[in-house]
Amino acid sequence: MTSARTARALAALEAHRIALEQQSIASLFDEDPRRFQRYHVQLDDLLFDYSKHRIDDIALAHLIELARSCDLEGKRKALFLGEKINSTEGRAVQHMALRNLSGRPVPIDGRDAMPDVLATRARVMTFAENVRSGALKGATGKPFTDIVNIGIGGSDLGPAMAARALSPFIQPGLRAHFVSNVDGADIADTLADLDLESTLFIISSKTFTTQETMTNAASARILVSQLLGEAAVGDHFAAVSTKLDLVAKFGIREDRVFGFWDWVGGRYSIWSSIGLALAIAIGPEHFEAFLLGGFDIDEHFQQAPIESNIPALMGLIGVYYRNVCGHGAHAVIPYDQRLARFPAYLQQLEMESNGKSVTRDGAPVTLATASVIWGEPGTNGQHAFFQLLHQGVDIIPVDFLVAAEPTAADAHHHGLLFANCLAQSEALMRGRSQAEVESILNLQGLSARDIAALAPHKVFPGNRPSTTLMYRALTPRNLGRLVALYEHKVFVQSVIWDINAFDQWGVELGKELCSRLAPIVMSKDAPTAGLDGSTAGLINYRRVVMANG
Ligand code: G6Q
């Protein structure tokens, strides 16, 4: 239940929103030439600009009071102390231990988790190094050139996103591929051009029971044993899982199995052995730099006061739009082609974590929770959905992500990319008024009648908020920082909404439902009685199609 203090903070925000609506973001800049200086936080290579938001010092003070009313500081402490805050699964949440480079112990269930974490990481790194150097070979003596990670959800999105983001750091001659969908097209298309003799499969599954992953793993296993012989399976497979007994049954050699722990949620597992494909691709040194980036943010999140704490501000500003302004969507637009999978990664992180409708004690939530997160790289999005961002009826706050310097040694392209990013955030904020449009059309020589007809279509309301996150370059360390920033943003919001960000019963339901239907779908004549009319009708229609060839 929302406490009286939280309710007061929300009411104060609501009252202030109405006052703020009298002012545009652009006018806030006009009034305060130091607005950018006051409303940005710089953390080493990273710059978080939150000046283009519909907020002022009073709104920020109310948001910080809101955070304190929910005991954000106390809950942050509980998170890092390893308390079992994932109450519905009875688990601590300690993915931060995987990037804990402080030398400090991390107590979980009464013992320090760090010796296990370090020992497992050392095995991952040695294995990665041996694949990279060619010391480990396939059954026919060829070094590995292609790594195929088979996993889904949290066991896929992280390494897949990061391998793309960090492609310039991948060892020449090595390629990382990611197969996730149970649709056979995924594995077929991925393997189409690969030489199995030089392909290493990594089966990544926390539970080692996920239908999609097990199906793809079985298909890969059959292919390897058909082409290279059953004895070759041991040479061409490795696995990452918390269920070591199930991995052993699959036939993967013990020295190629890398564990992790139930206190690492799937969507927070990129820092664990689930990062094996990434570690092989970019190498131990870069993987450790990625971990260091995550650690940087853990330190910042724990130490910086809320007033200048980037994940806290990201979370609180998001809460303002979601709960006070009623905006239900949030776009993430990287002006960085290599971050193409970052919005999809964040979709899982934010929507799976905070897409909840009961509070921690099981009561219905009183506040709206996670927004719909979506996005695509700029500039491509500009030629597609940006129309709605500029002139649609919904206001969708945007996170722009952009590097300060080029990575592709192409200053000209990067200059244009950067200019486009700024132009969009500026245009969203400023808009274009009726008077401005009329004067432009006038200068173009249009008649008064044509101007009157055309002007309304060319007016942009503006006042549309955005954050800009700028990093020097998309290095492993900066990618680690970006991921960890959003992880803690999600945590901050879960504290305000009083929900468990670390379970995912909706995902579990999906797994359960399919296992009930799959045998009926796969049978020619299993009865469909008892299913709803639509499901039965669709199954029977498919049976007819298949029977008619
Ligand atoms: C993540 C979710 C989910 C999970 C996949 C794969 O937090 O729980 O996306 O990662 O369902 O699960 P396995 O790793 O167990 O195969």
Quick one: pLDDT band at residue 515, thresholds 50, 70, 90? confident
Tokens at 385, concatenated: 């959905």
Angle between helices 476-497 and 157-165 (to 10 degrees): 140
- How far the first Cα of the chain sits from its last, in Å, is 58
The catalytic position among 249, 383, 457, 524 is 383
Q: Which atom of ligand 1 is nearest to the CA of 511?
A: 11
The mean pLDDT value for 29-35 works out to 96
Nearest Cα residue to atom 9 of ligand 1: 153
Nearest Cα residue to atom 2 of ligand 1: 266
Percentage with pLDDT > 90 across the chain: 95
Q: Which residues of 524-542 are buried (b: 16+ CB within 10 A; e: fewer)?
A: eeeebeebeeeeeeebeee
Tokens at 294, concatenated: 């995550």
Quick one: pLDDT band at residue 171, thresholds 50, 70, 90? very high
Judge if the beta carbon of residue 86 lies within 6 A of ligand 1: no
Question: How distant, in Å, are the alpha carbons of 70, 313, 454 from that of 6?
Answer: 7, 17, 47
The mean pLDDT value for 283-308 works out to 98
Residue 507: predicted pLDDT? 86
| Residue 383 annotated as catalytic | yes
Residue that the structure tokens 């001659």 belong to: 173
CB 261 within 8 A of CB 274: no
The mean pLDDT value for 514-542 works out to 94
Sign of the C-alpha dihedral computed for residues 342, 346, 349 and 351 taken in this order: negative
Residue that the structure tokens 């089966």 belong to: 203
Judge if the beta carbon of residue 431 lies within 6 A of ligand 1: no
Percentage with pLDDT > 70 across the chain: 99
Domains of the chain: 4-69+304-425+465-503 (3.40.50.10490), 107-287 (3.40.50.10490), 431-463 (no CATH), 514-547 (no CATH)
Q: Which atom of ligand 1 is nearest to the CA of 267?
A: 7
Quick one: pLDDT band at residue 408, thresholds 50, 70, 90? low
Residue 187: predicted pLDDT? 98
Q: Taking all residues of the chain, what is their mean pLDDT, rounded to a whole number?
A: 96
Element (H, E) at 28: helix 25-31
Ligand 1 center from residue 514 Cα (angstroms): 15
pLDDT in tens, 264-284: 999 999 999 999 999 999 999
pLDDT in tens, 218-238: 999 999 999 999 999 999 999
* Ligand 1 pocket mutation pick from 157, 206, 345, 346 by most atoms within 8 angstroms of CB: 206
Does the reported pTM lie above 0.95?
yes
Ligand 1 center from residue 483 Cα (angstroms): 18
Quick one: pLDDT band at residue 94, thresholds 50, 70, 90? very high
pLDDT in tens, 322-370: 999 999 999 999 999 999 999 999 999 999 999 999 999 999 999 999 9
- Helix (H/G/I), strand (E/B), else coil: 209: coil
